[in-house]
Amino acid sequence: MSKKTKLTASIGDQTLRLLTLLMAISVLVLMFWMGWQMFQSAGPSIDKFGFGFITGRVWDPVKEQFGALPFIYGTLMTSLLALLIATPIGLGVAIFLNEMAVTKVRMVVAFLVEMLAAIPSVVYGLWGIFILAPWLRETIQPALAKWFGFLPLFQGTPLGFGMLAGGLILAIMILPTIAAISGEVMAAVPNEQREAALALGATKWEMIRIAVLPYAKSGILGGIMLGLGRALGETMAVTMLIGNRPDILPSLFAPAYSMAAVIANEFTEATYDLYLSALVEIGLILFGITLILNVFARLLVWSVARGPKGGIS
């Protein structure tokens, strides 16, 4: 573009450019401002415990002892568990709906899956308390203990409430996200790609494996990462099911605690400044972990999407 045409660009376009730029900047400003404010409020706790806050395993408001590790552990473990369960199922749902099901079935099931995403998390929590937890306690956990009891993961008293219940409810909650986004990116795969595979003598599964999934992989990863984001921050349902005990135990049956849950539970009872500031610091850490995981996820999507040399991504 020459200088002249630039100068004569319409006032409207320039205004639009400025306005959208301002909006884009406002998001950044908001993020940094939030981070800064939390950092300030967490000041007393950061001054007192330093790095030990992150590695500390004791959370005792009565003795003014605050360590965040149990909560970090609980959040990461439940989210990981949720991803491990929801990713294969979500992908399976998406593959079935896009590549196998006839249109009528696809429409009904896709609608139901989307409905899952619309259910408020407190309802999930209630369902978890009255149905999931008792079922885990009476059926699933004894069975797991019987068959896989040699693993530390499946040892201890079957309580129902605990890490497993928290992870499972998260899995159910992020399943629609993963299924819907994977489904959409699979639907966006050009039909020529499918036909290219079929014409080479691919079976349906081989077609999905060589033509559909590779084409959609960066979008699928994006969906999984969105699911992870939701799992990390989910508060209500997890609080209702995780058992709320700040311990680091290897067993999935044991009660645990998550960062979001401790903030929600204890914020109103934080009776002195240090307590409050410790809770804010947990919020700051959650903020940081979410940020880091998202950056990491971006990098992962890039490196996966790049493919062989000279390609377009």
Closest approach, Cβ 97 to other proteins, in A, equals 14
Which CB, 219 or 243, lies closer to other proteins? 219
195 near other proteins, judged by CB under 8 A: yes
Which CB, 21 or 100, lies closer to other proteins? 100
- Applying the rule CB under 8 A, the residues between 66 and 105 that interact with other proteins are 102-103
C-alpha to C-alpha distance for 262 and 128, rounded to whole angstroms: 19
What does R_g of the chain's alpha carbons equal in angstroms?
Answer: 24
6 near other proteins, judged by CB under 8 A: no
CA atoms within 13 A on the CB side of 90: 34
Size of the site for other proteins (CB under 8 A): 26
Is 243 exposed, middle or buried, given 0-12, 13-18 or 19+ CB atoms closer than 10 A?
A: buried
Query: Whole-angstrom distance between the N-terminal and C-terminal Cα of the chain?
Result: 26
Task: Single out the residue of 63, 201, 268, 269 in contact with other proteins (rule: CB under 8 A).
Answer: 201
Closest approach, Cβ 64 to other proteins, in A, equals 55
192 near other proteins, judged by CB under 8 A: yes
Closest approach, Cβ 183 to other proteins, in A, equals 17
Token pair in block for residue 191: 């039909």
273-306 and 11-41 are packed helices; what angle lies between their axes, rounded to 10 degrees?
130
Token pair in block for residue 210: 């060589």
CA-based nearest residue to 259, from 129, 104, 76: 76
* Contact characters 99-128, other proteins, x per CB under 8 A: ---xx-------------------------
7 near other proteins, judged by CB under 8 A: no
Stretch that binds other proteins, among 6-14, 203-211, 234-242, 291-299 (CB under 8 A): 203-211
Query: DSSP secondary structure string, 289-304?
Result: HHHHHHHHHHHHHHHH
- 128 touches 237 (CB < 8 A): yes
Q: What is the dihedral of CA 232, 233, 239, 243, to 10 degrees?
A: 20
27 near other proteins, judged by CB under 8 A: no
Stretch that binds other proteins, among 64-72, 163-171, 288-296, 302-310 (CB under 8 A): 302-310
190 near other proteins, judged by CB under 8 A: yes
196 near other proteins, judged by CB under 8 A: yes
209: DSSP letter: I
Q: Which residues pair with 60 in a beta bridge?
A: 65
214 near other proteins, judged by CB under 8 A: yes
211 near other proteins, judged by CB under 8 A: yes
206 near other proteins, judged by CB under 8 A: yes
Closest approach, Cβ 217 to other proteins, in A, equals 7
C-alpha to C-alpha distance for 198 and 185, rounded to whole angstroms: 20
309 near other proteins, judged by CB under 8 A: yes
Residues near other proteins, by CB under 8 A: 102-103, 190, 192-193, 195-203, 206, 210-211, 214-215, 217, 307-312
